[in-house]
Amino acid sequence: MKKIILAFALFTSIIATCQTTVDHFASIKLNTKRDITVKLPESYQANPDRSYPMILVLDSEFLFAPFEGTLKYGNYWDDMPEVILVGIHQNKNDERYADSQMDESTGLPTGKGAAFFEFISTELLPHLEKKYRISPFRIIAGLDTTAGFINSFLYKETPLFTGYISMSPDLALGMEGRIAARLAETKEPLHYYQATSDGDLRKFQKNIKILDTNIKTIKNDLLNYKFDDFKGIAHYGIAPNAIPSALYQIFAVYQPISSIEYQEKIVVLKEGYVEYLNKKYEQIEKALGVKMKMRLNDMKAIESAIKKNEAWYEYEQLAQISGQQYEKTMLYEYHMGMYWEKRGETKKALKFYQDSFSKAEIGDITKDFMMNKAEELKALLPKKDKLKGGKAKDKKAEEIIEEVPAETPAETPKEEKKQD
């Protein structure tokens, strides 16, 4: 038994290790090798048809770990999607400064900076796209020198990245105007984040705040912008605070329905609650390239709005989702049963509740709950018959009302990790 346990522990540790690899990438543009760290999502091997967003982190030596930790935390609570995290190592012989070399007059990469730009654009990204299942949603991040450099990618006619996380950027001359102008012209959804602090370098703070002022004048609905000016934090304390702020802003569309979203956007609607849910998940897929099953808690939020506003007909629409995405569970029968029950069709509702007994429980939709629903409706049928003046049993009702079968074992799906 001990040998089995040790073997299993070794196997799981190997799998965990395999999720993170270091690739010694030979670059023609740089005429050298660069270490590239790649961390794959835990579900990567189990989902061969799924693509994942990518985050490319410069200064991997000290930025990779805080990004990894924030993403792991956010994914645990289902606030962030799983992503492919890639880091470029840059600490040998001050590579980060050579890699970020810019022309002060144009704000464009020059010398070794131009070579590094081409390395990322024409070598590294094509290599990663060929080797891994990367969705079109890509983010790039850097700190001070490298944060200033990542803005170079905005100048491509079709930007290579959808999101930019610029932490205390060292901006080249005139960049506070050029960046704002480029962001204003975007014709595709673009996420841009920058941060500074009152303890940041003075020369950085000035240009960053001018850029912030310029960006805030932009009227372009395709731009999702956030600026943080942290208090009581020194320059190197910016990154640990900025990373979660940036990621939660960029991945806001992915997050489950919150109590605020429910109160301010859903329950106030007169109708169209299921349509709202469908559009939410369509937006996640369109924005992030992530196709996912609808969360049970999100469906429960929609059900709550249906009940509160007595939009009973929408139960049938909700059942179409549960029948497709939770087909082995009781959810479809529950939604259809509620649909008919609220329409006053007791016998039809009872049939759906009874049909659920052989299905798997899900959340608070248990066998006991569904049996109780069925028993409540059964008790109503004789009263209905008496109102018609007849003592004989309704034969159709008798055919529909069957004896409740003994409980059969059924696999219970995992409950959602996050509760409303």
Asked if residue 405 is part of any domain, the answer here is: no
Is residue 346 domain-shared with residue 323, that is, in the same domain? yes
pLDDT of residue 104: 82
Asked if residue 338 is part of any domain, the answer here is: yes
- d(CA 5, CA 176) in angstroms, rounded, equals 59
Does the structure show a pLDDT above 50 at 404?
no
CATH classification of the domain holding 319: 1.25.40.10
Is residue 89 domain-shared with residue 200, that is, in the same domain? yes
pLDDT of residue 386: 37
- d(CA 190, CA 64) in angstroms, rounded, equals 23
Is residue 241 domain-shared with residue 265, that is, in the same domain? no
> Domain of 225?
2-254
Is residue 250 domain-shared with residue 290, that is, in the same domain? no
CATH classification of the domain holding 105: 3.40.50.1820
* Distance set, CA 289 to CA 171, 254, 281 (Å): 31, 11, 11
**Looking at 213, 239, 254, which one is the last position of a domain?**
254
Asked if residue 389 is part of any domain, the answer here is: yes
Is residue 283 domain-shared with residue 226, that is, in the same domain? no
Does the structure show a pLDDT above 60 at 409?
no
Is residue 43 domain-shared with residue 192, that is, in the same domain? yes
SS3 state of residue 229: strand
Asked if residue 411 is part of any domain, the answer here is: no
- d(CA 121, CA 115) in angstroms, rounded, equals 10
Residue at 130: amino acid letter? K
Does the structure show a pLDDT above 50 at 352?
yes
* Distance set, CA 19 to CA 59, 103, 130, 282, 389 (Å): 20, 39, 17, 29, 71
Q: Which of 13-27, 168-182, 393-407 has the highest mean pLDDT?
A: 168-182
Is residue 268 domain-shared with residue 308, that is, in the same domain? yes
Does the structure show a pLDDT above 90 at 410?
no
**Looking at 236, 254, 272, which one is the last position of a domain?**
254
pLDDT of residue 173: 86
Is residue 215 domain-shared with residue 277, that is, in the same domain? no
- Mean predicted confidence (pLDDT) in 3-7: 41
Lowest mean pLDDT among 147-156, 218-227, 337-346, 381-390: 381-390
- d(CA 335, CA 323) in angstroms, rounded, equals 9
What is the rounded (10 degree) CA torsion for 408, 409, 410, 411?
180
Is residue 181 domain-shared with residue 264, that is, in the same domain? no
What confidence tier does 383 reach under pLDDT thresholds 50, 70, 90? low
Q: Interhelix angle for 314-325 vs 296-309, to 10°? A: 170
Does the structure show a pLDDT above 90 at 384?
no
Asked if residue 21 is part of any domain, the answer here is: yes
Does the structure show a pLDDT above 50 at 403?
no
**Looking at 193, 228, 254, which one is the last position of a domain?**
254
Q: Which residue has the higher pLDDT, 242 or 106?
A: 242
What confidence tier does 52 reach under pLDDT thresholds 50, 70, 90? very high
Is residue 203 domain-shared with residue 276, that is, in the same domain? no
Asked if residue 407 is part of any domain, the answer here is: no
- Mean predicted confidence (pLDDT) in 185-213: 96
pLDDT of residue 8: 36
Asked if residue 419 is part of any domain, the answer here is: no
- Mean predicted confidence (pLDDT) in 68-94: 94
Is residue 375 domain-shared with residue 234, that is, in the same domain? no
Is residue 117 domain-shared with residue 94, that is, in the same domain? yes
Asked if residue 416 is part of any domain, the answer here is: no
Instruction: Please count the structural domains in the chain.
Output: 2
What confidence tier does 385 reach under pLDDT thresholds 50, 70, 90? very low
